[in-house]
Structure 1
Amino acid sequence: MGATVSSLEGVCLGRSKKVLLDYKFKRTLDRVTSLISLEHLNVNVPAWNSELEIFWMKGLGFAADSRAEEVCNRVKAHGGSLQGLVWANAGLQQVHMPVGEPSPMESQSPPGFLGLAYSDIKALRSNLKALSIDWCEVWSQETVQLKELGPPALKVKSPTGVTFVIHAVKSLNSWLTPEGWMDQKELQEQNVSLPSSTPSVCLGIPYMRFMCPAGTAAGLARFYEEIFCTQAELKKGFGSVEECWVPVGASQWLIYREAQPGEAVPYDGYHIAIYINHFVDAYRRAKERQLVWNNPRFPNTTYDTEDLAVKHSEFRILKLVDPMSGEILCEVEHEIRAASHPGFCAKEWLGNKTESQVALNM
């Protein structure tokens, strides 16, 4: 037997008696999604040096997460190949950068870009200039418009090729949460934050936009509907190019934009992490379609059985498949986590159901 769904709403219980709590939104969303938070992008870097430190921490104003060293040591102790690890916080979202992975995985950069939000674009421009970090205007095909954000203000690329499009956020002094933009001070008082010595200047990652092969946007929408019960939107982007917009939480988006016919879309092993509700149901659907995947870089976490997935509060998918045809559309590793995963930034919002309370309802 695997995990058992309890009659207590929003809870599942594994054979190990581990409780997995769903996240209950505090307001009615204008979207249908089981995805709670698009938390991080993981991209390898060859070495951590002063150029990267200046770009990420001083230039973009990310903040070093104090948990990275412990996680790195744990992975290495189980035979993982990484030699170091940096977690850079952007509000309540992150970029993870494993250091020293072997070739050809030593450096990664997704085909696309991440949106970043700041309260003061003028100050950011001045800071980048003072640090001799180049930035440029945003091309029309790279424009993403969201009601909570100002128009794209500038574009900047990391020393290893990760591209960002910068926006001003309309809710000043706010962080992006599963509930949308909320006051930073209020969140800290509720212990909804990520550990760092100082808060990041960057206030959040409202979207990630990746390229996908021509003709796959509709199939990707069906994939998220089938596996995650999430209704993606098909939109026409710049030049009437088809895009698949996957809603996450109240305000985030995972966006796929189709490449031109015949244009290759490279995949170099980067991954994204999302938190979801109905974790066990999603695992079962992915397992049935033989999509659950173990990344050999992280030998301490495997997901061959439902009990293992529940034990780790996570599983992974590599191949995104059209459920209608069975066709492999593209590869983008998803690290899929339950809200009860210890890394979830809003654990304080999960309520106080206990294991004994769940057992009484079995």
Structure 2
Amino acid sequence: MPPQNLWDRSAESLGNVVELQHVNLQVPDPLLATAFYISALGLTRDPYLMTGIDNMWANAGISQFHLPTGRAQVLRGTVGLMLPDRAQLLHRLDRARRWLSGTRFAFAEAEDHVAVTCPWGNRMRCHAPDAERFGRVTLGIPYVEFDVAPGTLGGLARFYEQIVGAPAAIMDGTLQVRVAREQYLAFRETDTPQPEFDGHHIQLAFVDFGGVHRKLSERGLISREDSEHQYRFTRLVDPEDGRLLFEVEHEIRSTTHPLFARPLVNRNAAISNTRYAPGHEATHWAMPPA
């Protein structure tokens, strides 16, 4: 007699996508970007890569923001951020007003998050750790949510399921696409007119790197061939009729990419020169064992 199965095995299936590593947004002023992403949000500048003045990688748990210098890019939606301490976040945001006044920087408290706008208009929803909702993560990017046109969720679900190989489900009017263990893309329909796509991108890693490339190529959807480990696509279409549904650049890496699952340094943003304790400089991006 086979052993009794006590678990829902499908709940542990990630599908083809195993990493949401970064959100890439150009910023016109790296000094303001430092004031916002590092000082106000409490993230950590990558100490090893992109350490010059024309690009900055800001670590958030196992994910990053990539912030090359250039014309401002604004994501058509909202980035979800998990930050360890809401009270400390509000303190840092309040102090950052001195550097960010005269920009679009703003923040407001809501019941389950703090809504924050970056100096150039990017919206972020900052959550406190919540194991039931987001898993055992204390610092990271649990989701990226996009505003899309009415009538597109079904086609977007088919695109990610049939072409990308990612589990997708529509819940409470929002499409959620699982792209890593505790990360997802979300798509929410809106009647609000959206600006033209300005070139920002997200980066995912695929297990079936070549299989998805073949499906995209057959439909003429590959937008750039970067290297043996990386390609890109931008147009999301309905597999049933080829109708264009949304545009956002996807930088796709293989699991053999040299940067796949690279360990990232994350500082304890509560530590300062006047509030210091030896051995507490670093922070953990996940909760301890239950």
TM-score normalised per structure 2: 0.78
Query: Any residues of structure 2 matched to 1:18-37 within 5 Å, and which?
Result: 29-31=11-13, 33-37=15-19
Q: Secondary structure at the match of 2:108?
A: coil
- Whether the aligned pair in 2 keeps the contact of 1:231 and 1:246 (CA below 8 Å) is yes
TM-superposed deviation, 1:122: 1.2
Give the corresponding residue for 1:325. 241
Aligned pair 1:57/2:17, yes or no? no
TM-superposed deviation, 1:265: 5.0
Aligned pair 1:207/2:127, yes or no? no
Supply the distance in 1 between the matched residues of 2:206 and 2:81 (Cα, whole angstroms).
22
Q: Secondary structure at the match of 1:344?
A: coil
Give the corresponding residue for 1:252. 183
Give the corresponding residue for 1:350. none
Find runs of 4+ consecutive structure 1 residues off by over 6 angstroms.
none
TM-superposed deviation, 1:130: 2.5
User: Deviations for 1:126-185, whole angstroms, at most 9, x for unmatched residues?
Assistant: 2222332742134xxxxxxxxxxxx632111111111111111146xxxx9xxx636xxx
Supply the distance in 1 between the matched residues of 2:59 and 2:219 (Cα, whole angstroms).
34
- Whether the aligned pair in 2 keeps the contact of 1:211 and 1:265 (CA below 8 Å) is no
TM-superposed deviation, 1:243: 2.1
When residues 161 and 84 of structure 1 are mapped into structure 2, their CA distance, relative to the original with a 3 A threshold, is same
Give the corresponding residue for 2:261. 345
Aligned pair 1:266/2:196, yes or no? yes
Give the corresponding residue for 1:135. 107
Aligned pair 1:165/2:117, yes or no? no
State the percentage of identical aligned residues.
Answer: 33
Supply the distance in 1 between the matched residues of 2:193 and 2:123 (Cα, whole angstroms).
19
Give the corresponding residue for 1:234. 170
Aligned pair 1:110/2:65, yes or no? no
Supply the distance in 2 between the matched residues of 1:269 and 1:37 (Cα, whole angstroms).
21
Q: Secondary structure at the match of 2:107?
A: coil
Supply the distance in 1 between the matched residues of 2:63 and 2:26 (Cα, whole angstroms).
17
Letter in 1 for 2:234: L
TM-superposed deviation, 1:69: 2.8
TM-superposed deviation, 1:264: 3.5
Q: CA RMSD in A?
A: 2.4
Give the corresponding residue for 1:92. 62
Give the corresponding residue for 1:48. 30
User: Deviations for 1:336-360, whole angstroms, at most 9, x for unmatched residues?
Assistant: 111111112258xxxxxxxxxxxxx
- Whether the aligned pair in 1 keeps the contact of 2:235 and 2:244 (CA below 8 Å) is yes
Gaps of 5+ in 2: 1-8, 101-105, 264-290
Give the corresponding residue for 2:274. none
When residues 125 and 85 of structure 1 are mapped into structure 2, their CA distance, relative to the original with a 3 A threshold, is same
Supply the distance in 1 between the matched residues of 2:117 and 2:141 (Cα, whole angstroms).
15
When residues 266 and 346 of structure 1 are mapped into structure 2, their CA distance, relative to the original with a 3 A threshold, is same
User: Deviations for 1:28-74, whole angstroms, at most 9, x for unmatched residues?
Assistant: 6445521111111111111212x32111111101111134437x8xx
When residues 266 and 235 of structure 1 are mapped into structure 2, their CA distance, relative to the original with a 3 A threshold, is farther
- Whether the aligned pair in 1 keeps the contact of 2:14 and 2:181 (CA below 8 Å) is no
Task: Determine which structure has greater relative contact order: mean sequence separation of CA pairs < 8 Å that are 6+ residues apart, divided by chain length.
Answer: 1
- Whether the aligned pair in 2 keeps the contact of 1:35 and 1:247 (CA below 8 Å) is yes
Supply the distance in 2 between the matched residues of 1:332 and 1:166 (Cα, whole angstroms).
22
TM-superposed deviation, 1:293: 0.9
Aligned pair 1:287/2:257, yes or no? no
Give the corresponding residue for 1:152. 112
Supply the distance in 1 between the matched residues of 2:150 and 2:13 (Cα, whole angstroms).
26
**How many residues get paired?**
246
TM-score normalised per structure 1: 0.63
